[in-house]
Amino acid sequence: MTLSDAFLWPGTKACERLGLDPEADAGLIRWFFNTLFYLVIGLVIVWIIVA
């Protein structure tokens, strides 16, 4: 597993669970799920550090 595969893993698994092809549509579906995943993780980390 390469580093890029590790970063894209949450989106890939979300697409597979929904029965979508993670490579379709130039990876935009996978990108969307990765963005949501890392947004939540980032906000939690910022909330912990600031609060």
How far apart CA 48 and CA 29 sit, in angstroms, is 29
Q: How many CB atoms lie within 10 A of CB 50?
A: 6
The domains of the chain are located at 3-50
Task: Assess contact for 31 and 11: CB atoms under 8 A.
Answer: yes
Q: What is the pLDDT of residue 18?
A: 92
Each residue's pLDDT tens digit, 3-51: 988 999 999 999 999 999 988 887 899 999 999 999 999 999 999 999 8
HEC per residue, 1-36: CCHHHHHHHHHHHHHHHCCCCCCHHHHHHHHHHHHH
This prediction has a pTM of 0.82
